[in-house]
Amino acid sequence: MTFKKIVLIMAMHSEADPIRDALELEEMDKLHPSLPMDSYKGKIGQTELLLLVNGVDPRFQVDSIGTQPATLATFAAIQAWQPDLILNAGTCGAFKSKGAEIAKVYWGNKVIHHDRRISIPGFREYGVGDYPVFTDQALAQKLEMEFATISSGNSLDMCDTDYQILDQEERVVKEMEAAGIAYVAELMQVPYLGIKSVTDLVDGGMLAQDEFLLHLKNSSLALQQKVLALLQEISIK
């Protein structure tokens, strides 16, 4: 399947810049003067590509990570650009015990929250989310990407209950944006596709923040390679 207009949403410039530079994307005006997101545009064959990076928080002067800015960015992007596909790419943590390795890139076949625990009848499923995703088994095999559950939470560390929730998934990666993006994509009836590159192993013995910073560059380059290959496959020639 190919798409006429793809919006690529990414949280951090350190993740997005290798892709932006490789595709020579042109900077655009901000979607709204009050929003920190940075916008870029270009083409892959006949497909229009728009990149939206969450940008720097104006108050705290750090990357706007987490589900809140991701949700806002996705809504703003869909409203402004009316894409055929939302592609969310970024880095993640994963589990060595489930076969993960640093810089391995996964394609999400399920998107959930692991930190929205609402023990009220009818609200449990709402809290978990389990949003629809776009997958293609043949294409994933061609690009040498395994499927995994993408699970979002707004903390870098995890409590015991988070571990228990994630342990139920055969393959799982944890990050901080996908569920917010997939939530909006479902509401606005735009297909969502998520791919994530491993920066840190949750059960690898290092502190998550130290391992994340150590491997961010190499994992972002691995992500770049898979994103470029994927875009070549789903763009109109």
Q: Which residues are catalytic?
A: 15, 200
List 131's β-bridge partners, or say none. 111
Sign of CA dihedral 13, 103, 140, 109: negative
Tokens 């890139």 map to which residue? Answer: 105
Which is nearest to 11 in space by CA: 49, 57, 79?
A: 57
Angle ∠(88,91,92) on CA atoms, nearest 5:
110
What DSSP designation does 28 have? -
Angle ∠(224,35,17) on CA atoms, nearest 5:
15
CA distance 40 to 26: 5
CA distance 17 to 140: 24
Burial of residue 216, with CB atoms counted within 10 A of its CB: 0-12 exposed, 13-18 middle, 19 or more buried = middle
CB 86 within 8 A of CB 192: yes
- Give the H or E element holding residue 231: helix 208-234
